Amino acid sequence: MAGIDAFERLAEAVSTPMVIVTTRVEDETSGCLVGFSTRCSVDPPRYLAGLSRVNRTYEVARQAPILVVHLLHDSDRDRELARLFGEETAKDGVDKFARCEWDLGPGAVPVLRGCDWFGGPVVERVDIGDHVGFVISPEQGDASRADEPFLGSADLGELDPGNPT
């Protein structure tokens, strides 16, 4: 196995952290499950989340000044949130925020209650293909559950994305 096949095989095999990205523009809140995300700078601290162009969250995030990233843990509640934000889409008229508990975070962006999170201004948007990289400066957050095991893509099992890429 070589080249692109090797890449696909390895990319599928590795377990990546699962996060939920939320954002807001005026009265519209939006959020989705994201598997493509990583810290991408130490100094200054920066985090990159890849949002698919087909998602409503991407459309909102294009205009949004602030994103919040929730790092999910291996708990029943976080798995339920992963399912809600990964399988449902605002494009079908689903209001995900009516189906979970949340508080107002930075810039009135929803912070999912009980989750670990960080968030801050979007400092760059990078065209990387069918996803766009949103680079944020993580200036606020809460790491109360940082000692709990995290939820990776390998732990999630089959989920059907609300908008297949």
Ligand X SMILES: Cc1cc2nc3c(=O)[nH]c(=O)nc-3n(C[C@H](O)[C@H](O)[C@H](O)COP(=O)(O)O)c2cc1C
What residues make contact with ligand X under the rule CB under 6 A? 30, 32-36, 50-52, 55-57, 85-91, 131, 153, 156, 159, 161-163
Report the residue closest to ligand X, judged by CB.
Answer: 162
Which residues does 81 contact at the CB level (< 8 Å), separation at least 6?
Answer: 20, 70, 72, 100, 112, 115
Least distance in angstroms from the C-beta of 88 to ligand X: 6
Q: Given the complex with ligand X, which of 128 and 144 has the nearer CB atom?
A: 128
Q: Given the complex with ligand X, which of 8 and 144 has the nearer CB atom?
A: 8
58 burial via Cβ count (<10 Å: 0-12, 13-18, 19+) = buried
Least distance in angstroms from the C-beta of 123 to ligand X: 19
Least distance in angstroms from the C-beta of 147 to ligand X: 24
Q: How far apart are CA 121 and CA 132, in angstroms?
A: 16
Q: How far apart are CA 98 and CA 146, in angstroms?
A: 27
Please give the C-alpha separations between residue 93 and each of 31, 35, 148, 154, 162, in angstroms, as whole numbers. 13, 23, 34, 29, 12
Least distance in angstroms from the C-beta of 19 to ligand X: 8
Q: Given the complex with ligand X, which of 90 and 112 has the nearer CB atom?
A: 90
